[in-house]
Amino acid sequence: MTAPLRHAEPVVVQVALAERSYGIVIGRGLIASLGARIKALRPGARTAIVTDQTVARHHLAACEAALKSAGVESARIVVADGEGSKSYATFETVCEAIIAARIERGDLVVALGGGVIGDLAGFASASVRRGVDYVQVPTTLLAQVDSSVGGKTGINSCHGKNLVGAFHQPVMVVVDTALLDTLPKRQFAAGYAEVAKYGLLGDAAFFSWLESNWQGVFSGAPAREHAIAVCCRAKAGVVARDERETGERALLNLGHTFGHALEAGAGFSERLLHGEAVALGMALAFEFSARIRLIGAAEAERARAHLAGVGLPTHLKDIPGGAPGVDELMDLIAQDKKVKRGKLTFILVRGIGQAFIANDVDAAEVRAFLSDKLR
C-alpha cells in the first residue's frame, strides 16, 4: 500500500445513514470554504460557533471570516481548554449561550475544535430545542479521524468518561488538514493513537503501511491525508452498519476500556491525554490478549513497539505521577459503558487487524493482570 499524491480536489467520504446521511470533506485549506458549504447546505441559516480558548486564538477569526464572506451570520461561544469542559457546568453554559444567540431549529451549531468541543457542542445541539443540527470542523488529528464522525456526543460524569450524552449525527464534517499544522507534537501523537487503532483493530495491511510511513503522517506529507481518508472511510462504514453501537461499532473501542479508566484515574487532566490513554489501553489489550493466549507475545510487542516508537506511552509507569491503584482501576472499569448487567466486556484481539468483542471477561483475571503491570 502506498500513499497517493495529494488530490487537487477534496476527498469526500459519505456516511450512509439514509435520510441522515452526510459527507466528510477532507483536504487542505478547507476552512476558507466553510461559509459557502454551509450556505449551500442550509440557505439562510444562522450559526453559533462553539470553540475553546486555544483554538479561538488560532482559527476562530478564519472561521468567522469564511462565514461572513458567504453572508452567514455567526455568534461565538468560547469555553476553557481541556477535558474539564466536558462537564455539567460547561454544558449548561453552552446551551444557554446557544439559546441566547437565538439559534433556532433550522439554524446550525458549528463545533470548531478537538474531541472535547465536538462532544460538548454536539450534545448541546442534541439538547437545545430538542435538537439543532450541527457541523463538525475538527482541529485535532484525533477528532479528524475519529470523534467528529459518527454522532457520539456527551460529557463526563464523576463516575467516568462520556457517561452522559446522546447519539446526534452532524450534517457535515469539514476536515481541513492544514489546521493540524498548529498542533503541538504531543497533541498530534495523541491523535495518532486513533489512526493506529484502525489498523490494529481491522486492517493489518494499513498497520504495516503505518509502520513504514508514520513519519510522513507526522510531517504533513501526502501520507497524512491518505491516512485520514483511510480512517474516515473505516469509521463511516462501521457507523453506517451499526450507528448505535449494538454490535460491530464497539470494536472502535479497542484500548478504550483500559484507557478510559486510566484517564479518569488521572483526573481527566494534562497528565494523560485521551489519545495517550488509548495508546496505553491498546498496549494493555494486546498484552492481556497474549496473557490469555489469544495471540503470541511477539505480536503484542509489535503493536506496543510501534506506539512507543512514535512517542506514545505504552507502560503504566509512563503516566506522570504514577498510575491509579488496581482497586481504583477495577472500580472505574466496572463503570464502562460496555458493561452489561455487571459483566465486563473488552475489545481483545486474535492478531493485528483481528479485534473482537469479548463478553463476560473474568474480572479476577483482569485484576491479576493489572496487579502484575503495576509492580
Tens digit of each residue's pLDDT (9 = 90 or more) over 90-109:
999 999 999 999 999 999 99
pLDDT at residue 3 in the model: 47
Is residue 267, in this structure, part of any structural domain at all?
yes
CATH, residue 130: 3.40.50.1970
260 falls within a domain: yes
**Is 274 annotated in the active site?**
yes
Active site residue 253: yes
**Based on the domain organization, do 95 and 128 belong to the same domain?**
yes
Q: Is 235 annotated as catalytic?
A: yes
Would you say residue 211 lies in a domain?
yes
Residue 301 lies in a domain: yes
Write out the E strands in the chain: 11-15, 22-27, 47-52, 74-79, 108-113, 133-138, 152-157, 160-167, 172-176, 344-349, 355-361
Q: Are residues 202 and 255 in the same domain?
A: yes
Residues 198 and 165 in one domain: no
pTM: 0.91
Is residue 6 included in any domain, yes or no? Answer: no
Are both 178 and 199 inside the same structural domain?
A: no
**360 compared with 92, residue with greater pLDDT:** 92
Identify whether residues 139 and 281 lie together within a single domain: no
Please say if 83 is a catalytic residue. no
The one catalytic residue among 152, 161, 224, 226: 152
| pLDDT one-digit tens code per residue, 144-164 | 999 999 999 999 999 888 999
Q: Which structural domain range is residue 30 located in?
A: 11-182
As a whole number of angstroms, the distance between CA 350 and CA 223 comes to: 28
Q: Is residue 3 assigned to a domain?
A: no
User: Are residues 242 and 321 both part of a single domain?
Assistant: yes
Q: Which of 166, 182, 198 is the last residue of a domain?
A: 182
**Count of domains forming the chain:** 2
Cβ within 8 Å of residue 141, ≥6 positions away: 180, 183, 187, 188, 190, 191, 192, 194, 195, 228
Is-catalytic flag, 46? no
Distance CA 265, CA 262 (A): 5
Answer whether residue 132 is part of any domain: yes
Q: Are residues 68 and 143 in the same domain?
A: yes
Exactly one of 156, 162, 213, 253 is catalytic; name it. Answer: 253
Of the candidates 28, 59, 256, 338, the residue annotated as catalytic is: 256
Q: What angle do CA 337, 201, 339 make, to 5 degrees?
A: 15
The question of whether 256 is a catalytic residue gets the answer yes
Least confident range of 47-51, 242-246, 277-281, 290-294: 242-246
Q: What is the mean pLDDT of the chain?
A: 95
**Residue among 64, 194, 225, 299 flagged as catalytic:** 194
